[in-house]
Amino acid sequence: MAYQQIKIIDFGGQYNQLIARRVRECGVYCEIIPYKKADIAALKCDPPAGIIFTGGPNSVYLETSPHIDPEIFNLGIPVLGICYGAQLMAYTLGGKVATAPTSEYGKTLTDFETKGSVLFEDLPEKGVSWMSHTDYIAEPPAGFKITAHTPVCPVAAMENREKGLYAVQFHPEVNHTENGTEMLRSFLINACGCRCDWSMGSYAETAIKDIRERVGGGKVLLALSGGVDSSVLAALLAKAVGSSLTAIFVDHGFMRKNEGDEVEAAFKKWDINFVRVNAADRFLKRLEGISDPETKRKRIGEEFIKVFEDEAKKIGKVDFLAQGTIYPDIIESGAGDAAVIKSHHNVGGLPEHVDFREIIEPLRLLFKDEVRALGLTLGLDEKLVYRPPFPGPGLAIRIIGEITREKLEILRDADAIFREELERDGIARRIGQYFAVLTNNRSVGVMGDGRTYDYTLALRAVTTTDFMTADFAEIPYPLLGKIAARIVGEVKGINRVVYDVTTKPPATIEWE
């Protein structure tokens, strides 16, 4: 039985990925579509169970702001508008949207009309909601009932139950909104009739079926880094196409300490064609004199493809290149009207032409924790599934400035100590990602009776579930002190260690 889908139409808001996370947590599959690609004919032909409009930074009454074909409200598909999406619904259907006399930001006490409301039935009549708006719905369109308000926002929620149209000015997807997930679940079940039966098991079955149909009798070449994403993809492809899969592990020389040998040992016993390519010299040459992080990523991406093309020629005709691209990679590399945060080597770094018929990315719509869940569903070892994430460009983007062999060895040794101590302490499993960064800053130090002028090393550890947002991990000071003492004492070239306590946003998890 095919699983139901929700289409999330993206108007450029800051919480759009959280909406997708919450919907999937409710057991319903969803996809995000930029508003410019919301095709009415396609929605008519293959209607989803429901549609959600996201928030956005614009004012709906301006001609330059994102709008949508009004026909979408006549398709008979339930629609939920959130923030800008709520204002867009009101404005398009004849309501009044204006600049609010008082803007609302953050936690806001809200009154809910619970009786007869699809979204708020059986929920408390008062609660805290998360607001973030300058404009507001001054008057709802004809046929809409107001179902929530605040002291300064007369239409905090509205609905036209007969037409299946619902809108909230606040953000139910944000944890600060009390009962927000329950509100979304009510829309999915009561308005859309969703069964809430989607799981990683059903996703795996569908993905395997789709891969088989797409690949047919062709051969697949997998870009296997040994990280979580490509490892899960390897398991998925192994079940889908078996011996038609060749996994190429490119050791670009930017791996963590002993990691190349560990990856080879882990995958050699798998029932797949495994090939290791030692290409450190080739990649280092491509990065000579390069300090800019975007240039590093793009050159590494280009060289990856060239290595795969070379290896493919040795294997024979290969039709498909598989990559472990996941949703945060797509988002951060820029999608629709979104800004490019950083190009991922397997997204923004691809050359225009490659010697494969197609590139397949079966994980591109999954978040990191969903990829881990899929790995467990496919039977991967838990230790492999929960391995700390490692970006494709590896240590090349954890060294600030130009890459040299000396810097790589310094960082490998320091990073190994950091990881070893966190794992020995038992705190590692509670941290989403942890690693060391070799900065390009040197400072004066004293070791023994002598003066040193060596590098500053930054330690980074974050807690996160979806890798779209993250907080710094509160590592105990005694443990940080022990790690710093070991690194300075055992790694030649480092005389100062600092700890990064910045959240994402405003920072990203990686430094480059």
Q: Catalytic amino acids?
A: 83, 171, 173
3-state secondary structure at position 337:
coil
Degrees (nearest 5) of the Cα angle 33, 36, 42? 65
Residue 309 dihedral angles phi and psi, to the nearest 5°: -60, -45
Q: How many CB atoms lie within 10 A of CB 238?
A: 18
Contact (Cβ atoms closer than 8 angstroms) between residue 441 and residue 407? no
Q: How many CB atoms lie within 10 A of CB 282?
A: 16
d(CA 171, CA 132): 8
Residue 238 in tokens = 């192994």
d(CA 169, CA 165): 14
d(CA 268, CA 276): 10
Contact (Cβ atoms closer than 8 angstroms) between residue 308 and residue 325? no
Which one, of 178, 184, 143, lies nearest residue 54 by Cα?
Answer: 184
d(CA 481, CA 462): 18
Contact (Cβ atoms closer than 8 angstroms) between residue 168 and residue 119? yes
Degrees (nearest 5) of the Cα angle 12, 14, 19? 95
d(CA 476, CA 94): 57
d(CA 395, CA 411): 8
d(CA 143, CA 161): 9
The alpha carbon of 397 is separated from its chain's Cα centroid by a whole number of angstroms, namely 18
Which one, of 211, 252, 253, 250, lies nearest residue 233 by Cα?
Answer: 211
**Residue 295 to residues 206, 301, 338, 401, 422, Cα–Cα distance (Å):** 37, 10, 20, 11, 32
Q: How many CB atoms lie within 10 A of CB 472?
A: 17
Which one, of 333, 323, 280, lies nearest residue 303 by Cα?
Answer: 280
CA dihedral 374, 378, 384, 388 (to 10 degrees): -10
Residue 507 in tokens = 């920072």
Residue 62 in tokens = 């301006």
d(CA 256, CA 263): 11
Residue 439 in tokens = 């900065």
Residue 456 in tokens = 């500053």
Cβ-count burial 96-106 (b if 16+ within 10 Å, e if not): ebeebeeebee
